[in-house]
Amino acid sequence: MRSFNLPTVSVVVPVHNAGEHFHRCLNSLSQAAPPPDEIIVVADGESDGCWRLAEAYATRVIRLPVTGGPARARNHGARAATGDILLFIDSDVAVPPDIVSKITAIFTGEPHLTAVIGSYDDEPAEANFLSQYKNLLHHYVHQNGCDEGFTFWGACGAVRREIFFALEGFDESYRKPSIEDIELGYRLRRAGHKIRLAKEIQVTHLKRWEALSLLKSDFLHRALPWTELAWRDRHLPDDLNLRRSSRLSALLACALATSLLAAFWRREALGIATLLALLLLSMNASLYRFFFRKRGAKFTLWAIPWHWFYFLYSALAFGIGTLRFLVNRCVLRAFNLTKAISMAGKS
C-alpha cells in the first residue's frame, strides 16, 4: 500500500505504431508494484490500432489524429495527468517492477530534486549485433556518467509536474524522435534545477537497430541538432557522450581515417595510422573490456570498428552542425539588420 507521504506518479507513454513492443511495455507497467497512480497513453497519429490495446491497461487513452512527434504527445499526456511526478516511458521499453517505488523514494529523499533519469540495462531484447552494440554502449556510458545529470531522458525520465509546466514542457518544434528530451534538460539546468542520473533505475530496450536506422537516428536526429543546441547554450559538459575523452577520440578517428587514405600514396602513413589506432584502443580500453565481459571476443572485435565509425560520423555531424548554426546566425543577423534599416527609413 502506498504511503500518503509519497508523491503520486503519473506515467505518460507516447506511442506511434509500436506493435508488439508496445504490448510488452504496457505489460511491464501493469506488473509494477506498487502501481503508478495512473497510466496515460497518447496515440500519436497511429495507424495500427495500438490504442485499442492500451485501453486494457491505461487509465486514459488520448488519440491525436495527426502525428506530431513524441514531444507534442508527451505534452498532451502531461496536461491530462494529475500526479505530482510525471514519469515518461517510451513505448519500446519494458520497466522493472520496482520502478515506481524507486522513483518515489528518490524524490521523497531529495525534496530539492527536480528530475530523475534512468538508463538502459545490459540485456537488450533484440539479439542482432547492432541492437546489442548500441544498447550496451548506452548502458556503459550512463552507468559511468556523473550522478548529477545535465540532461533529461524521455525513454525513462521523471520530473516534478509543476516545474515541467513552469518551463512549458517539451519543445514541440521537434517533430520526430530527436533531442527534445535533451533540450528540456538543458532548460532545466539553465533554470537552476537539479537532475539526477539514478543508475539503479534500468529499463530494457526492445527496439531493433539496423545499420540504416541507427545511422539516421544518430546522425540526423541526434548529433546534428545536439551540436546546434550545444552552440545555442554554450554548454559542452564533460559527461556522457560529450566527455573530453570522447571528443579527443573523435579527433583521433578523423586523423586515423585521413592517415589510411594517405597510405594509398605514402606507405609511411601506415605507421601513423597504427599509432592512432593504438591510442584509440588505449583511450577506450575500459569500454572494450566491458564488451568482452558481456559478449566475448568476437562481439568486441566487431564493436571496436563500429565504435570508431561512431566517432567519425559524430565528428562530421559536429562540423556540419556548427556550420549550420553559424550560417543560421548570420542569416538572422542580416534579417534583423535589414529590418532595423527598413524601420529607420520609415521613421
Backbone dihedral region of 4: left (phi > 0), alpha (psi from -120 to 50 degrees) or beta? alpha
* pLDDT top residue among 288 and 268: 288
State the DSSP code for 240. Answer: G
From the list 91, 113, 98, the residue with the least C-alpha distance to 159 is 113
Which residues 6+ apart lie within 8 Å of 202 measured at CB? 96, 118, 119, 120, 121, 139
Asked if residue 245 has pLDDT above 90, the reply is: no
d(CA 142, CA 149): 10
CA distance readout (Å), 26 to 16, 41, 86, 92, 184? 14, 10, 17, 10, 25
pTM as predicted: 0.91
Q: What is the CA radius of gyration of the chain?
A: 22
* All structural domains of the chain: 9-209 (3.90.550.10), 240-346 (no CATH)
- By DSSP bridging, strand 195-205 and strand 38-44 are unpaired
Question: pLDDT for 12-55, tens place per residue?
Answer: 999 998 788 999 999 999 999 999 999 999 999 876 777 788 88
DSSP 3-state of 43 = strand
Query: Distance (Å, rounded) from C-alpha 31 to C-alpha 83?
Result: 19
Which positions ≥6 away from 225 have C-beta within 8 Å? Answer: 174, 178, 179, 321
| Percentage with pLDDT > 70 across the chain | 93
pLDDT surpasses 50 at 1: no
